[in-house]
Structure 1
Amino acid sequence: MRCVLGLDIGTTSTIGVLIRPPDQTLALASRPVALRSDHVGWAEEDPEQWWANVAEIVRELMRSSGASPADIAAVGVTGMLPAMVLLDAAGRLLRPSIQQSDARCGAEVAELRAEIDENAFLAKAGNGINQQLVAAKLRWIERHEPKVFARISTVFGSYDYVNWRLTAERAVEQNWALEAGFIDLKTHGIDDALVAFAHIPRAALPRKVVSHEILGVVSDRGAAESGLEPGTPVIGGAADHNASALGAGVVGAGDVLLKFGGSVDILTATDHATPDSRLFLDYHLKPGLFVPNGCMSTGGSALNWFARQFASGEAEAAKKAGLTIHQWLDRLADARPAGSDGLVVTPYFLGEKTPIHDSNARATFDGLTLSHDIGHLWRAMLEAYAYAIAHHVEVMNEIGYRTERFIVSDGGSASRVWMQIVADVLQQPLQRLAGHPGSCVGAAWTAAIGSGLVSDWSAISAFVRPADRIEPRPETPETYRRGYRRYREIYRSLAGRGAS
């Protein structure tokens, strides 16, 4: 029984899936992850928690599937991009990871912009100068935690860290390196001059590996700690949004995936790179393609925060109705009108990444009155992310990317209320998916490709099938056009600058 293991090191949870090609899902398991924000704009996690989750998940998958570790042909790990993990020379963690949604390095981004020709950087590196760059994060460490900076021996990402714990091999996957700002698009290699902007020794950045390349095998120590078999191949890994896009079938112009996880992502596919500072650019998992994409700083993470902070009074009612707190809040929101009776939220709880790239942006609730209740507030939160998606679609169209077929995936797509709002704001139908466990299945399939267990990238479609299609309602367009205009105007007025 040859199968492959996919692991997703997500913002709010670690998820594992065991699949058997061509079309069997054997088991799925998850464990929660704690996201810390001890200061305004900070987002940190404990990599040791990811590793502990992996060990628990592997053992649960073995129990529930009846498979043994010897049955696993390969392991693929996906995760947030580009989270930053730092090790010293002895392989000890120097501090908690700095997550991709972290917005602490605004001053360092401004410093880089003053130092570098931004257009030349964009043309070379494929991505603009923004808070996503690992160079900016490292300069923050250099300035504020000099003792930590002086001990840095390895810099890599979340799934790179898990790969290292599995194999003892230090490497960076190509999309981590690209979004980190270290890849030259012309050569597709790590560029020494780009690394120099981070003020770290070149040796601190490990070798680059392609997503489906086998970077190593599970070591004896990795096996003892994880429950896997020594010698099991481990691939380079995958950015979580790219793994989701592969599983959802986003492989051609006009295909768009909206991914509703801890953050909200929007991705399309193209056979050529068109760098634009408003979006991120990645390699597609299928060689020869690129993935222009946007990623918001928050999504499900902000909804979870709202539910914890403001919805405790609804917990008893939700329990009596047999609903989770999120489902109960959805029910309340569905009873409120489109536009939330004039309440508009800008969801910049951790600053914002694409398309405005403003680490100083802040969340606002505009138009709040005594007539609003928690149902209005929840609906306005859901509408805020729909407006943010519309902003990304507008930018993609301006660049020249077609946006014709919208597919939705990951945990938030299970909310019928939220998806109806998104369809209404975009005035486009949304195709939901059945059987899509998220990014982990894309990681598993990439491992199956890399290990030679399968050879057809598109055959992953056997694990994901279309579910219902959510059509936009004809009575909402004008309400949401007004709401979108206000959404954009609020940011412009508070930022004190022109349109982004």
Structure 2
Amino acid sequence: MTNQVKEPVWIGVDVGTTGVRAMAYTSTGKAVASSEAFYPLETPQYDWAEQNPQQIYDAVEEVVRSTVAELQYKLVSISGIALSTVMHSFIPLDGDYQLLGNMITWADSRSAAIVRRMEQEERCRDFYFRTGCPLHACYPLAKLVWMKENRPNLFARMAHIGSIKDYMFRLMTGEWVTDKSVASSSGLYNELKEAWDCDILAYIGIEETQLPKVVSTTYSAKLIKDTAQRLGLPEGLPVVIGATDGVLVNVGIGAVSPGQLSCTIGTSGAIRMLTEKPRMDKEGRTWCYNLTDDMWVAGGAINNGGIILRWIRDRIMHLHGSQIENLDVDPYDLMTMKARHVPAGSGGLLLMPFFTGERAPYWNSDLRGAFIGLSLNHSRSYMIRATMEGICYSLLCVLQALRDFENVESIRVSGSFTKSELWLQIMADIFNEDITLPNNSEGASFGAAVLGFISDGTLKSIRDTAELIQPQDVYTPKQANRDVYDTLFSIYESLYTQMKDDLARLVRFQQEHPFSRL
């Protein structure tokens, strides 16, 4: 058989916001099989964002089963499954681990008013410096307080509190545990003591017994019989609990040395760097989550990345449904082509990309988006480029905070935006840094597989990936654009300061006067 792979592989399963991908990798980083599936994000009320955990898990089994079938056809030996999941999910379960409701996702901001109240409470002010999680509606901490105050009967029935990772791992292995990466991104975990924070649990009104036991991200358990049969795998195959997608990106793209940063734009966006101990920003601009027992990740995620470009595609360009089917070109390629003719700075058109509020560095749910500087000379092409630039301005705010921790030596990128050479060049120009596109852009799934190879001893540490992932392209800042972007970024920062109070008033108005999409 041609192209037969003799090395054993680990299947990295990456559960994202709206889809899951399973990819099988050798220890040298070669991808040999893959499958993906999708599921909806439900928004039943203003500022709510929920999903059905069982629907997500069914999609996980679907992609693993398909990947396994492809590997078996190729006669590839499977060492195990390793997991990566989206951050900040919260699932309420009863005493029999049955679902009491939908999963509340990171994008849900129904608890924004509770966060504003907590920010004024002296008891809550040092939570960040213990947990590495700023006070924000994305974290399970705020979601639990909301549930206690708004769904007291359900809160009282909640015997177990989990994430999508914990829920999946139990269905696969029968064990109820969570990994340090998930725990440290919950707002409930004391990163200095590496234990659930008793004071924070008492503030919410929950017991430690309701939470899973915390284990290392390389912890493994055996695949149970029923699940193994459905997946076409042998009973007892190792399942490594893995980490969250955000921290695994650095591993997956080889940004594992001092001064190496990862930058991702997918639905949202983030910039991250590895540290050997928890690092908190004195101004509270960044978060810090666990990766392995001796490695942490400091960084910041923005709420609004490619989700805005998709809004431009659907609502401004009207490229959706049958319109897309009739095109002979990918709609994003068409949008990039139109934006390429627009000069740097988009003719003074600025996007404040706060469509769904913002996480880092402002941690402010009471924000909304705005195009500023519109004139009769601007067209949709200008709006497209201004969107790409505005998202990069937002990420630059996070990069500035990380520069206070350590000198930046290089930035490696991943995510769907890497398909756009224009967007990569815009990022290099706005950051004034070289931007490296690695030869593996599927960061989280490979990062999960790496934890599998570490668990079985094939690899010694995550730093082993430094030599596996090589640069594919490097985008260097164009000095001709530097003055333009420095000037506009200064205006961008000033506009946030001047607008934030009025934007909060607009958010209150929108909450009091709900509207539907037409």
- TM category (shorter chain) comes to over 0.9
| Structure 1 residues 227 and 63, CA gap change in structure 2 (3 angstroms) | closer
Offset of 1:94 from its aligned partner?
2.1
Which position in structure 2 is the counterpart of 1:303?
309
- Which deviates the most, 157-166 or 459-468? 459-468
Aligned residue identity for 1:278: R
- What aligned pairs does 1:239-278 form with structure 2 within 5 A after superposition? 239-276=244-281, 277-278=284-285
Secondary structure in 2 matching 1:284: strand
Contact 1:78 1:439 in 2 (8 A): yes
Contact 1:135-1:197 within 8 A present in 2 as well = no
Of 247, 267, 287, the residue aligned with 1:280 is 287
Give, in angstroms, the shift of residue 12 of structure 1: 2.8
- 1:130 equivalent in structure 2: 136
Query: 1:488 Cα shift?
Result: 1.6
Distance 1:118 1:143 in 2: 17
TM-score after normalising by structure 1: 0.92
Q: Deviations over 1:479-500 (max 9, x none)?
A: 1112212222222112139xxx
Contact 2:65 2:230 in 1 (8 A): no
Aligned with residue 81 of structure 1, among 78, 83, 87: 87
Cα separation, 2, equivalents of 1:46 and 1:33: 9
User: 1:67–1:448: structure 2 CA closer, same or farther, 3 Å change rule?
Assistant: farther
CA distance in 1 between counterparts of 2:46 and 2:371 reads: 18
CA 1:49–1:304 in structure 2 vs 1: closer, same or farther (change >3 Å)?
Answer: farther
Among candidates 384, 405, 423, match of residue 378 of structure 1:
384
Is the Cα contact below 8 Å between 2:217 and 2:291 reproduced in 1?
no
Distance (Å, rounded) in 2 between the aligned partners of 1:367 and 1:41: 28
Q: Aligned partner of 1:408: which letter? A: V
* Post-superposition offset of 1:315: 8.2
Q: CA deviation at 1:379?
A: 1.1
- CA distance in 2 between counterparts of 1:126 and 1:69 reads 45
Match of 1:400 in 2: 405
- The 2-side partners of 1:477 and 1:319 are apart by 39
Equivalent residues of 1:16, 1:58 under 8 A apart: yes
Query: Which deviations, in whole Å up to 9, do the C-alpha atoms of 1:42-89 show, x marking residues without a partner?
Result: 322222222121122112212333359994222111111112122222
SS at match of 1:417: helix
The residue that corresponds to 1:27 in the other structure is: 33
Runs of 5+ unmatched residues, structure 1: none
In structure 2, what residue type is equivalent to 1:411? S
Q: Which moved more, 1:135-144 or 1:379-388?
A: 135-144
Please say if 1:338 is aligned against 2:344.
yes
**2:55 match:** 49
The equivalent residue for 1:144 is 150
- Residues 234-260 of structure 1: CA distance to partner in whole angstroms, max 9, x if unpaired? 222211021110122222331110012
User: 3-state SS of the aligned residue for 2:478?
Assistant: coil
> What CA distance in whole angstroms lies between the structure 1 residues aligned with 2:462 and 2:100?
38
2:488 — aligned with what? 483
Q: Which amino acid aligns with 1:271?
A: E
Change in Cα spacing, 1:445 to 1:344, as seen in structure 2 (3 Å) is same
Residues 263-315 of structure 1, C-alpha deviations (whole Å, 9 max, x = no match): 10100122233312211001233x42221110111212332233223322588
- Kindly indicate whether the alpha-carbon contact (under 8 Å) linking 2:285 and 2:361 is maintained by their aligned counterparts in 1: yes
Following superposition, the deviation at residue 462 of structure 1 comes to 6.0
230-239 or 69-78: bigger deviation:
69-78
Once residues 108 and 301 of structure 2 are traced to their aligned partners in structure 1, the CA distance between those partners, rounded to angstroms, is 12
Partner in structure 2 of residue 235 of structure 1: 240
Q: Structure 1 segments of 4 or more deviating over 6 A?
A: 314-321
SS in 2 for 1:100: coil
Q: 1:440 Cα shift?
A: 0.6
Structure-2 change in CA distance of 1:154 and 1:298 (3 Å): farther
Shift in Å at residue 218 of structure 1? Answer: 1.3
Q: Does 1:451 align with 2:456?
A: yes
Counting only pairs closer than 5 Å after superposition, residues 135-174 of structure 1 correspond to structure 2 as 135-174=141-180
- Show the counterpart of 2:332: 326
1:425 is matched with which residue: 430, 437, 444?
430
Relative to structure 1, the CA distance from residue 461 to residue 396 in structure 2 (aligned partners, 3 Å threshold; closer, same or farther) is closer
Paired position in structure 1 for 2:513: none
Q: 8 Å contact 1:436–1:464 — kept in the other structure?
A: no
Structure 1 partner of 2:64: 58
CA distance in 2, matches of 1:171, 1:226: 22
Quote the offset at 1:136 in angstroms: 0.8
Mapped to 2, the partners of 1:99 and 1:338 lie a distance apart of: 36
Q: Return the TM-score normalized by structure 2.
A: 0.89
**What SS does the corresponding residue of 1:28 show, helix, strand or coil?**
strand
Name the CA shift for 1:69/1:449 in 2 (closer, same or farther; >3 Å): farther
Distance in 2 (alpha carbons) for counterparts of 1:451 and 1:139? 40
Alpha-carbon distance in structure 2 between the residues aligned to 1:51 and 1:462: 34
Aligned pair partner of 2:214 in 198, 208, 213: 208
1:116/1:74 Cα in 2 relative to 1: closer, same or farther (>3 Å)?
farther
CA distance in 2, matches of 1:419, 1:72: 36
CA shift for structure 1 position 146: 2.7
Residue identity opposite 1:97 in structure 2: M
Mapped contact 1:280–1:292 kept (Cα < 8 A): yes
Aligned AA for 2:204? Answer: A
The residue type equivalent to 2:275 in the other structure is T
Q: Is the 8 A contact 1:74 1:448 kept in 2?
A: no
Identity %: 24
* CA contact 1:40–1:350 (8 Å) conserved in 2: no
Residue 393 of structure 1 contacts residue 403 of structure 1 at CA under 8 Å; is this kept in 2? no
C-alpha distance 305-160 of structure 1, shift in aligned 2 (>3 A):
farther
Report deviation, 1:408.
0.6
Question: How far apart are the structure 2 equivalents of 1:469 and 1:320?
Answer: 35
Root-mean-square deviation (Å): 2.4
User: Retained in 2: the 8 A contact 1:196–1:202?
Assistant: no
| Structure 2 contact 438–473 (Cα < 8 Å) conserved | yes
The answer to which structure, 1 or 2, has the higher relative contact order (CA under 8 A, 6+ apart) is 1
Q: Distance in 2 between matches of 1:39 and 1:206?
A: 30
Residue 219, structure 1, aligned to residue 224, structure 2: yes
SS of match in other structure, 1:256: strand
Contact 1:23 1:462 in 2 (8 A): no
**Equivalenced residues, count:** 494
